[in-house]
Amino acid sequence: MTETKCQLITKVNQIMTNMVYVEYRDEIKIIKSEHISFNSNEITQYKILGEYIKYRRKQNHSLGHAISGMVEWKKMLASDRKKTFYQYYYTILDNQLENENYDTIPSGNYLVVYHKGTYETSYQSYHLFLDYAKKNHLILDDIAYDESLIDELTEANPQNYITQISVKFKKEL
């Protein structure tokens, strides 16, 4: 866990928030929570989060990477919600794990934004990759991957949390 956290802190020291990066990503193995309907209330979301935390602990996935979230970002921006609402929680798995049922974040080109602030406010940075995509004629996937880099384990003030937001893209034809 310490090694992973140190790598994430080192990464954060090399980036700027409120800027769009273009990155190629290899496929990433993840485990996901059950689906959370966009129409669900917060109680349902937190219930599923609690169950997911128990599962992570039971499977020894609570070390290393923090819990992250998958967002249907277009729905998020079109809604009147004033906080980020995840459709799944997920955890990045170590590549060494075998015989594990897992999902994947597909390999490909991603727009990446680093959001400084609470988890609930990450949606406020979605306009950055949307504006970049429009300007550069890119087609964005529907899912944004919000990965916590600096969280409550490394920073006491939630306003200083850093979330890496990634959206896969392709060039318009």
pLDDT at 115: 94
Chunked into runs of 10 residues, the chain (173 residues) has average pLDDT values of: 59 74 94 94 94 88 80 91 92 70 94 93 94 97 93 83 95 80
pLDDT at 149: 85
Strand 28-32 to 108-116 pairing: unpaired
Any bridge partners for residue 171, and if so which?
A: 138
Q: Could you name the CATH architecture of 2-171?
A: Alpha-Beta Barrel (3.20)
Chain centroid offset of residue 126 CA: 12
Contact present, 60 and 112 (Cβ < 8 Å): no
pLDDT at 88: 97
pTM to 2 decimal places: 0.88
Distance, CA of 91 to CA of 130 (rounded, Å): 25
pLDDT at 98: 59
Identity at 47, one-letter amino acid code: K
Instruction: Provide the residue ranges of all domains of the chain, joining segments of one domain with +.
Output: 2-171
pLDDT at 17: 83
Buried b / exposed e along 87-104 (16+ C-beta atoms within 10 A): bbbbbbbeeeeeeeeeee
Helix (H) or strand (E) segment spanning residue 89: strand 88-92
